[in-house]
Homo-oligomer: A and B are copies of this chain.
Amino acid sequence: MSKNKTKPTLKIIPLGGLHEIGKNTCIFEFDDEILLLDAGIAFPTEAMHGVNIVLPDMTYLRENRHKIKGAIATHGHEDHIGGIAYHLKQFDIPVIYGPRLALALLAGKLEEAGVSNRTKLKTVMPREVVRVGKSFSIEFIRNTHSIADSFTLAVTTPIGTVIFTGDFKVDHTPVDGEKFDLYKLAEYGEKGVLCLLSDSTNAEVPGFTPSERSVYPNLDRVIGQTPGRLMVTTFASSVHRVNMILELAAKHGRFVSVVGRSMLNVIAHARNLGYIKCRDDLFKPIHEASKLPDEKVLILCTGSQGETLAAMSRISRGDHRQIQIKKGDTVVFSANPIPGNTISVVNVIDELMKLGANVIYGRRQGLHVSGHGCQEDHKLMLALTRPKFFMPVHGEHRMLVQHSKIAQSMGIRASNMVIVDNGDVVELTQDSIRIADRVTSGLDLVDSSRTGMVRDRVLKERQQLAEDGVVTVATAIDWDGKLTSHPEVHIRGVVATMEPVRLKNKIVEDIEKVLTSRWKEFVS
């Protein structure tokens, strides 16, 4: 391990968010002071049996908890704030700054987990500047993203300013009218940005990401022209989308029933803070909606990703307590499946169709746009901030590679950028960037009880149990090697070419044979 002792150095240590989508967690460390930037969760892959939530391994922060001066939440998405309630069980965070919506959502999580007393939440407004420790001064720059109230950060340290984009796209016509503060980015660019850390989610996609508003006319057409009952599903956290759906329901004379806990939660907070504006009497509880004429009803629900337990999936299986599909219903998917969810989503669509619903889905409908910038958005970010050094973050390896190529195409030398993995320690000085070290990194898998951790060993055992099943044999043996009773054989999850009863008898026979022929070896 080599250190750069001669020059003041900012260490940048991403613990999550690289090489996967999700669990964004990044450490800035300067002079024994740590600033934590976002702390998200990811969702398990299918091979992670019995796992509910994926966290980054926080060993490094746990061991350096005394250095933690504070944290920032850039916005309210689960992959940026979802981990905090878990981490606070392991260490305190003196203060967490963030936008109003993110902290409102976070406060609920902390309360539920009983850790509200382990930190202080402080909301910040655009262009507000806060100081954390002696080393960090952070300005909050309004950006545009799929959730309302999202920030890009300018983190000024003793060696210079680092721009941390958070999640963003460049949306010149945002639904809530809160425009991307391009001036602030440009101002930092003009003064001199030492390093840019930028969202790479869509770095493989050419062009600009369309404005969220481009979805409006298509939603308008669908909501306005559909006869009968209408159900719409989207990401609960897509505040702008939800806002448009509510506005269009009102416009076309439909009452709205909101179904799904996360959808209710986000709408409540977003209305509180003014990010969603609509009349109280637009909403009807689902049991009242069932008394209205079908063409007066819009059910807005969770489950756009085919999540097994979400409302739309339950409805498609016919096991939702309050909502049954009937012929003439129209279901709208205002979301694209993220990779890994495709099969679940199309299965839900098929089931809904079989129940008689007309289902509107798919990229060609224009009912969804991404909240992350594409290649041209990235070029604009690079052009405004004009960083000396560059570090693509928030994405899988090939996206980081693509993003680095975009930066190179704009004149940043390959030697002035690093492509990192979770756990890499990047040392940034005024005239160099390099991967200097590694700290412990990996996955913490939280099981369905939300308290236990599924260790690697346990996961491997579960995989093996799933592949092979298990046979248990219990038998009492006398000192002379004779069975004192019939062995109990239990077989679970085992593929056998013979009938279970025959198999059991065969096992008992074999045990007796072994005992007869080999007992002496055991006791000698």
Contact = CB atoms under 8 A, between A and B. Distances in A.
A340 interface: yes
Nearest to A490: B472
A494 B346 contact: no
A354 interface: yes
Nearest to A397: B350
A461 interface: yes
A398 B349 contact: yes
A47 B350 CA distance: 19
Interface stretch (A184-192, A275-283, A448-456): A448-456
A465 B492 contact: yes
A339 B306 CA distance: 14
A340 B493 CA distance: 25
B342 A497 contact: no
A61 to B, nearest CB: 21
Contact of A467 (B50, B461, B470): B50
B497 A451 contact: yes
Q: Select the residue from A350, A359, A449, A496 with max chain B CB neighbours within 10 A.
A: A350
B469 A462 contact: yes
A465 B342 CA distance: 26
Interface string A483-518: 000000000111111000000000000000000000
Contacts of A468: 50
A343 B353 contact: no
A203 B250 CA distance: 35
- Among all A-B residue pairs, the 6 with the closest Cβ atoms: A466-B466, A461-B493, A49-B466, A452-B495, A46-B46, A465-B465
A476 interface: yes
Q: Select the residue from A46, A449, A470, A474 with max chain B CB neighbours within 10 A.
A: A470
A362 interface: yes
B452 A497 contact: yes
A340 B342 contact: yes
Interface string A397-437: 11001000000000000000000000000000000000000
Interface string A249-265: 00000000000000000
Contacts of A398: 346, 349-350, 353, 359, 361
Contacts of A470: 465, 470, 492
A92 interface: no
A493 B463 CA distance: 8
A33 interface: no
A220 interface: no
A447 interface: yes
Interface in A77-103: none
Given A49-B466, A453-B495, 17 more contacts: A45-B343, A49-B467, A49-B493, A50-B467, A50-B468, A204-B362, A206-B364, A342-B342, A350-B398, A353-B397, A359-B398, A452-B495, A458-B469, A461-B493, A462-B465, A465-B470, A470-B492
Contact of A494 (B204, B350, B458): B458
A19 interface: yes
A444 interface: no
A396 interface: yes
Contacts of A455: 495
A493 B343 contact: no
A284 to B, nearest CB: 30
Interface in A331-365: 339-340, 342-343, 346, 349-350, 353-354, 359, 361-362, 364
Contacts of A401: 353
Nearest to A473: B474
Given A350-B19, A350-B397, A469-B458, A495 B50 contact: yes
A493 B469 contact: no
Contacts of A458: 469, 493-495
Contacts of A354: 397
Nearest to A452: B495
A454 B492 contact: no
